[in-house]
Structure 1
Amino acid sequence: MQISDPLLTKKEAAEILKISVPTLYRRVADGTLPKPLKIGALSKWPLSDIVGLIENAKAARQGDRS
């Protein structure tokens, strides 16, 4: 079975975003970041959610320049 959208741990998601794990959860609480998928007691973020967040921020930045 091939997984096309890997799930990231809190540490992996925070590392990609260059933020701390507590900041990751603060951003989830304030709605800046999407809520994680809950698998039992685990919290996982799809890589596509994190990449999409970065792409949206880049697009917004480009829009501010025009």
Structure 2
Amino acid sequence: MFGWALTFLIVALIAAILGFGGIAGVAVEAAKIVFFVAVVLFAISAVVHLVRGRSPTVP
């Protein structure tokens, strides 16, 4: 997911350099949304991992 956020950020930078302000703004907003969704999913995953703990190993 961080790859998608980075992709949108690069698209926004290229669009801004070429003068496409509207496209750059949309790409920046998409990058922000994807980044924060990835951070939230990471946090949820970390909490679930801490709650579940390690599973016992079977000999």
TM-score if structure 2 supplies the norm length?
A: 0.41
Higher strand share: 1
The structure whose Rg is larger is: 2
TM-score if structure 1 supplies the norm length?
A: 0.38
Higher helix share: 2
